[in-house]
Amino acid sequence: MRGPHNIFRLIRTGATFERTGAMNVILNAYQAPVGLRLAAKILGWPFQWLGYKGDPAMPPVTRALTALGPAYIKFGQILSTRPDVVGDELAVQLRVLQDKLPPFPIEEAQKMIEAELERPLASMFQDFSAPVAAASIAQVHRAKLASDGADVAVKVLRPGIERAFRRDIDAFYFAARMVEVLAPGARRLRPLDVIAHFEGVVLGELDLRLESSAAGEFAANTESDEGFQLPKINWSLSGKNVMTMDWAEGISAGDNAALDAAGHDRRRIGERILQLFLSHALRDGFFHADLHQGNIKIAANGDVIAYDFGIMGRIDEYTRRVYAEILFGFIRRDYKRVAEVHFEAGYVPADKDVDEFARALRAVGEPIFGMDATQISMGRVLTYLFDVTEQFGMETRTELILLQRTMVVVEGVARSLHPQINIWEVAKPIVEDYIKQSIGPKALLKDLLKTARVLSRFGPKLPQLAEAALIRTYNTAQPSAQKYGIKKRWLLLALLVGGGGGWLAAHLI
């Protein structure tokens, strides 16, 4: 890790925000106190000449993030879905980062496609268009297949994108280390683990073969989901730097005026997006983890069309059950059970008081119920929740980072479609259904059958495993047996009875 380079990189980040005017916009959006504004000015103003100028035609924050590079753009994409956190005006400005960034030349894209697929472009595509969308990682062209004239979308990675991302992530690691050194209280948030998680997710986007594979798995899981469509991948015209899929025809989920003109029910669409996400996360443990407006279209029949599968989330069944119980507890306002689940899962240290934690959770949850989204400041709720987790020593759970982040993004998308949407009411039927299926007698029987299947696969090896275990145990116990005068035959009998009982118990369990 190159310390001097990263120090300069972080100074330049602050200088870019100052030079483009983004610093003032952000401070105003968060209604920063005078002291913080003064500190930002003192630290930023002398170095602003080091900052990137960016595109003067863009709004300040968008201009700064675009100039700084792809990792910063990713962060801006997340904020663009949260008008309740950054304000409506800034959220609209940031939405440009989703799919309206400056493209790279079409000639360069065509050369990359020919080099990747080792064929002339004309033999694969006809009517190959200029870029129709450009984001931080790649851009998309519309084309027709040379074979049958079918409309397709051709996604091409930006040249040099991997090197640019690694440079930014290197600086993020440096900043995380500085946070751990200079602010020991923040170590519970595990900043290095968070950056490592972010690195793994983003670098996975830089191989479009993995994205194609994820799209195939996602399609298999969701083929029976009503009101949900996915474009089909053309594997013969896809590779590491290029991915070809069916063209998705529809209206962007971020274009409310067009949705209204087409007669769509935006409230129903917002509810469906939320419920689909929860179904995929809880039912399948595999979900679209970059579900912002730029990756969603609404078909003429009202179906939700999702695309861009570069970031997919996966959580194991145990974590899904924990997450569902936490959600279900909040929905039922059973804060004691929510607190207990946190302790049972090891999310909160065992030496803390469960009743005190439940009381703190009530203070977070109660303001949400009976209120619509326009009355709730999610920024204030998240700030208070942060204070609560710090008070109880709760560490950042890296396995839940992507799930939590996507939940925030999806909620933001739903609220942009219908500001009065209540996430808890919409989530309730999905979570209740999952609870019925995964927690209770049916789930217990299912777990027992899985355990029996695993044991049955080891059936032929059980005699050898039992013999090896008995020999190890006998060799360990023999010195103590001799010390107390226990004869060899009685020791063997005890081990056989104990071992047989354990084997029987394992099969019964």
Q: Where are the domains of the chain?
A: 3-99, 102-135+137-247, 248-439, 444-508
| Residue 20: φ, ψ to 5° | -85, -10
From 207, 290, 334, 433, the catalytic residue: 290
CB hemisphere CA count around 354 (13 angstroms): 15
- Average pLDDT over every residue of 85-107: 74
Identify the burial level of 503 via C-beta atoms within 10 angstroms of its C-beta, where 0-12 means exposed, 13-18 middle and 19 or more buried.
middle
How far, in Å, CA of 63 to CA of 24, rounded? 13
How far, in Å, CA of 105 to CA of 116, rounded? 17
CA distances from 81 to 156, 183, 253, 410 (A): 25, 30, 11, 8
Output the pLDDT for position 279: 92
Q: Where are the alpha helices (DSSP H) in 205-255?
A: 208-222
**Whether residue 500 has pLDDT greater than 50:** no
CB 177 within 8 Å of CB 3: no
CB 172 within 8 Å of CB 179: no
Identify the burial level of 17 via C-beta atoms within 10 angstroms of its C-beta, where 0-12 means exposed, 13-18 middle and 19 or more buried.
buried
How far, in Å, CA of 14 to CA of 51, rounded? 7
455 vs 140, which has greater pLDDT?
Answer: 140
Output the pLDDT for position 504: 35
User: What is the share, in percent, of the chain residues with pLDDT greater than 90?
Assistant: 26
* Pick from 407, 166, 372: nearest CA to 276: 407
Secondary structure letter of residue 262 according to DSSP = T
Identify the burial level of 213 via C-beta atoms within 10 angstroms of its C-beta, where 0-12 means exposed, 13-18 middle and 19 or more buried.
middle
């689940």: which residue's tokens? 341
Output the pLDDT for position 507: 37
How far, in Å, CA of 139 to CA of 108, rounded? 12
Residue 309 CB neighbours (<10 A): 27
How far, in Å, CA of 98 to CA of 75, rounded? 11
Output the pLDDT for position 506: 40
* Pick from 134, 58, 427: nearest CA to 308: 134
**Whether residue 486 has pLDDT greater than 60:** no
- Which band of pLDDT confidence, cut at 50, 70 and 90, is reported for residue 454? low
Is 148 considered catalytic here?
no
